[in-house]
Structure 1
Amino acid sequence: MTNLIEMSHISKAFGGSKALHSVSLDLKAGSVHALMGENGAGKSTLMKILAGVHQPDSGEIFMNGEKLDLKSPRDALDAGISTVFQEHSLLPNLSIAENMFLGREPTTRFGSIDYPEMSSQTAKALGELGLTLDPSQLVSNLTIAERQFVEIAHCIQADASVLILDEPTAALNAADVDVLNRNIRRLRDKGKAVVYISHRMEEIFELCDTVTVLKDGALVGTRVVSEITTDELIAMMVGRELQDLFPDRTGDKGDEILRVENLRITETSQPLSLTLHKGEIVALAGLEGQGQQRFLRSLIGRYHPFAGTISINGKALKMPLSTSSGVRHLQQLKVGFVPEDRKEEGLFLALPIAHNIAIV
């Protein structure tokens, strides 16, 4: 296989922070190339340079042997490089179809936007991923998983030569991941170069041909996936051999700190009860849309369940909690909440980091 993309000695700094130190990466046509590393290793920065979002301080990028000068995401898309970013980039006030063709809308012979054509092409792209969503539906009405699939469909629909997928399965269940993997293999077999960023080891070994590891903004190495073990890959990422991925479970539990009894999300749903003790992790599992989101939001007052009681450190709270003060009440009881969509619900993006951390 020939090199479709060559990134040579790429360096990038943000203020006094060096994000990338002379990193080189080759992408071959007809392959899936995993890019791995711990958080902050430089993976997203390197890919944002290839996507035209950032410009490197030094280094060069070549495509089919010709030097690229990517000043913007439009330049990258025009060159045949399409990206699904880790942070969703869809505009919630526009429809799925309008997002899919934003900036490149098809037009009629009279010069107006050809909405039927746009809707037809969108439905076709969604259909390839097994989705039956209405192209005219507003993105704001979609679930997180559905938004992720629309992002992926948008990337595929662009018919680019290089596709960058940054944590594409973070919001998907197992069945959705299988659908995505089938489409990635289909794109690989069509001669596309796919960059796949993920922390899920099983996906890397099942899907990818080659893996490159970054650490602290520097290149650790590139290996053929079939010639490396999971332990060797982890050692490349963390810089040392790991004896145990997780500490042994002691089985000792502390005092009870949370009790939920007979919580019914709706009038027809089955009652759910659970307890949580100090030093314990309780998993809440289920397929997308089975009530996990509404259950957790019931505990902080963002959703009103049909029935149920909740106690924190032995103190009973009247359900439903107040929509306006439930979160603040729980904060006073030292209960934190991290929402599914951290960008939209968990952060004030216009405020500095210090303000976001200090807000109570």
Structure 2
Amino acid sequence: MISFDKVTKRFGSNLALSDVSFDCEAGTVHAITGENGAGKSTLMNLLAGIFPADSGEIRLRGKPISPESPADARRLGISTIFQELTLLPNLTIAENLFLGREPLRRGAVDRLAMRENARSMIARLGSGMDVDAYCGELSVADLHLVEIAKGVSVDADVFIFDEPTAALNAPEVEKLGELLATLRAAGKLVFYVSHRLDEIFRFCDRVSVLKDGQHVETRATQALTRDELVSLMVGRVLSQFFPARPARSDAAPVALSVEELRVGEDGPAVSFELRRGEIVGLAGLDGQGQRDIVRALSGLEPSAGGRITKRSEAGAMALGADVVKTVLAGIGFVPEDRKIEGLYLPLSIGENIMLGMLRRLPIWKMVRSRPHVIAELMRRLNIRAAGARQVVGELSGGNQQKVMIGRWLAAGIDVLLLEEPTRGVDVGAKAEIYGLLREFTNGGGAVLTVSSELLELLGLCDRILVVRRNEIVAELDAAQTSEEEVMRYALVGHSDA
């Protein structure tokens, strides 16, 4: 249905795509994958009408096309569900879904029909959201569901899904899988842009791998193993995707102790210890309290009771809902949404990292520029950039995450709390981030992380604490447990429940 023939695109001196050629068939879900900067989004943006190709040809059913805008692409039967949200916050769900193509009755907008159609579209994704709710009041996950509903409501033959599950929980991902199967059965061509290897193998029939702007290979997913796909993406075999775990020791010093912590007024109490040299993961279904626990420990959100104590050779320090005191105690926090809560996107790499150095200074002192320290951190973290003066907003997701970690390393913290440590990060950068976290704990630090990717927790962590309804229902040795055991506790709670 779609053919790319020697497609090339430059941005100034940067060659984003070079002679990319492959074919895509109707009635298939076709994955487009590769590391950040490989050219995936650029190629899909050409098809979506965001900008034109410099040379080469894109053909739809054998006929050359060159859409000049997303609206032009839709007229050709190509609909895109963008990763970046395009919804207007001051409009309702129904109004956003039908913006620019509102149903009419006697020359006026038929709001009753619009709401009924919107309910049907949202229900198709397994959601019961109120279509009269304003989009500015919705969670990030709900906004992405509305974005997906908006994209698939178009009468199109080609659909582009750009990282569609980045903000979705497990049940919503399953509903998306059902939707993809429906589109496939209807003879549609679906492009599925994703870093998530498990989803590529679950949902997709074929996969095209791009690297450094070039087409590496297109294969049937059934003819590939996970390791083979990773090798195609990064250009090398990742024989050890996760770093080796050191031998566990219950005698290791405690870095953080949590006693009878309650994150809700009537919720259960949570108690555990985080020891130096270990990475501990909080697992569970979305919305079960993992995020609330980490944010209470970071001082961002108040708890309803309990004690949080930071321990070191200097002694013990009681903590609470006080971010400044928590940071001064040597605890860093990497939020899930690095662009909104973590980084200052208009500032440079160096300026973002230097913010960590403020931890050790009195409020009346200014931090002095230390370019040699920043350069060494960039080298150690393998931050790929033009230099320390490059604006952080221009970096890939993986490099932005490294800058966040680098800020806390510059601050000299010894406990690191992370939400979704590799969300929106390509497979090569994931391996590097895992190595950085293990290097941090090998040096005496301690890590507590929340991740919706269970395989990540199983491969990276030393222990896994399963959370259900704000309660820790199981403590598991990550090296000995399985996906099935973790999910059993996540679904039913204690073994005697």
Instruction: Tell me if TM exceeds 0.5.
Output: yes
Q: Is the 8 A contact 1:201 1:230 kept in 2?
A: yes
Residue 71 of structure 1 and its aligned partner are, at CA, apart by: 1.9
1:62 match: 59
Of 301, 325, 343, which residue of structure 2 is paired with 1:303? 301
Equivalent position of 1:258 in the other structure: 256
Q: Deviations over 1:233-275 (max 9, x none)?
A: 2221121233222232112466433332222111111111233
1:345 to 341, 352, 372: 341
Give 1:108's aligned residue. Answer: 105
The match for 2:123 is 127
| Matched letter for residue 319 of structure 1 | G
Question: For the structure 1 residues 358 and 49, does the alpha-carbon distance in structure 2 shift closer, same or farther, using more than 3 Å as the test?
Answer: farther
Give how far 1:131 is off: 1.0
Given candidates 153, 171, 176, the residue that maps to 2:172 is: 176
CA distance in 2, matches of 1:255, 1:14: 52
Shift in Å at residue 145 of structure 1?
2.2
Q: Deviations over 1:251-300 (max 9, x none)?
A: 24664333322221111111112333343221112222212232222233
Displacement after TM superposition at 1:133 (Å): 0.5
Relative to structure 1, is the Cα distance of residues 145 and 278 closer, same or farther in structure 2, using a 3 angstrom cutoff?
A: same
Matches within 5 A, 1:169-248: 169-248=165-244
The corresponding residue for 1:8 is 5
Residues 191, 275 of structure 1: alpha-carbon distance in 2 compared, 3 angstrom cutoff: same
- Gapped runs of 5+ residues in structure 2? 357-497
- Per-residue CA deviations over 1:298-339 (Å, capped at 9, x if unaligned) read 233332221122233444344232xxxx2x544444433333
Structure-2 residue corresponding to 1:139: 135
Which structure 2 residues correspond to residues 321-340 of structure 1 after superposition, within 5 A? 321=322, 326=323, 328-340=324-336
Measured at CA, do residues 301 and 97 of structure 1 come closer, stay the same or move farther in structure 2, by a change above 3 Å?
Answer: farther
SS in 1 for 2:151: helix
Counterpart residue number, 1:151? 147
- Segment drifting more, 335-344 vs 164-173: 335-344
**Structure 2 letter corresponding to 1:233:** L
Q: What SS does structure 1 have at the residue aligned with 2:332?
A: coil
Q: State the match for 1:51 in structure 2.
A: 48
- 1:285 matched to 2:283? The reply is yes
Residues 2-41 of structure 1: pairs in structure 2 closer than 5 A: 4-41=1-38
Q: Of residues 80, 85, 88 in structure 2, which corresponds to 1:88?
A: 85
2:81 touches 2:148 (CA, 8 Å); kept in 1? yes
Q: Secondary structure at the match of 1:148?
A: helix
Amino acid at match of 1:54: F
Q: CA deviation at 1:150?
A: 1.6
Offset at 1:190?
0.2
Task: Classify the secondary structure of the residue corresponding to 1:268.
Answer: coil
Q: TM-score, normalised by structure 1?
A: 0.88
Distance between the aligned counterparts of 1:358 and 1:53, measured in 2? 36
- In structure 1, what residue type is equivalent to 2:46? I
Greater share of residues in helix? 2
Is the Cα–Cα contact under 8 Å of residues 299 and 326 in structure 2 kept in the other structure?
Answer: no
In the aligned structure 1, how far is the partner of 2:69 from the partner of 2:347? 25
The amino acid across from 2:102 in the alignment is E
In structure 2, the residue matched to 1:79 is: 76
What is aligned with 1:118? 114
1:235 to 1:255, Cα distance in 2 relative to 1, 3 A = same
**For 1:53-108, what per-residue CA distance to the aligned partner results, in whole angstroms no more than 9, with x for missing partners?**
23322222221222222222222222221222223332333221122122322333
Change (3 A) 1:337 1:42: farther
Aligned length: 350
Given residue 115 of structure 1, which amino acid in structure 2 is its aligned partner? R
CA RMSD of aligned residues (A): 2.3
State the TM-score, normalizing by the size of structure 2: 0.65
Instruction: Give distance in 2, aligned partners of 1:57 and 1:299.
Output: 51
1:319 aligns with 2:320: yes
* Pick aligned residue for 1:270 from 268, 271, 289: 268
**Once the 2 structures are TM-superposed, how far is the Cα of residue 122 of structure 1 from its aligned partner?**
1.0
With over 3 angstroms needed to count, the CA separation of the structure-2 counterparts of 1:274 and 1:53, relative to structure 1, is farther
The residue identity in structure 2 corresponding to 1:248 is: A
SS of the residue corresponding to residue 183 of structure 2 reads helix
Residues of 2 paired with 1:56 and 1:276: CA distance? 52
Distance 1:54 1:275, change over 3 A: farther
Q: Which amino acid aligns with 2:320?
A: M
Cα drift, residue 185 of structure 1: 0.6
Query: Residues 263 and 202 from structure 1, CA distance in 2 versus in 1: closer, same or farther, beyond 3 angstroms?
Result: same
The C-alpha deviation readout for 1:184-219, integer Å capped at 9, x for no partner, is 011101011011122232322222111111111111
| Alignment check: 8 A CA contact 1:37 1:43 kept | yes
- Secondary structure of 1:337 counterpart: strand
CA distance in 1, matches of 2:341, 2:105: 39
C-alpha distance in 1 between matches for 2:255 and 2:16: 41
Partner of 2:426: none
Whole-Å Cα distance in 1 between the matches of residues 339 and 114 of structure 2?
Answer: 29
Aligned AA (2:20) = V
Moved more, 222-231 or 8-17: 8-17
Moved more, 164-173 or 33-42: 164-173
> 1: CA distance between counterparts of 2:61 and 2:38?
27
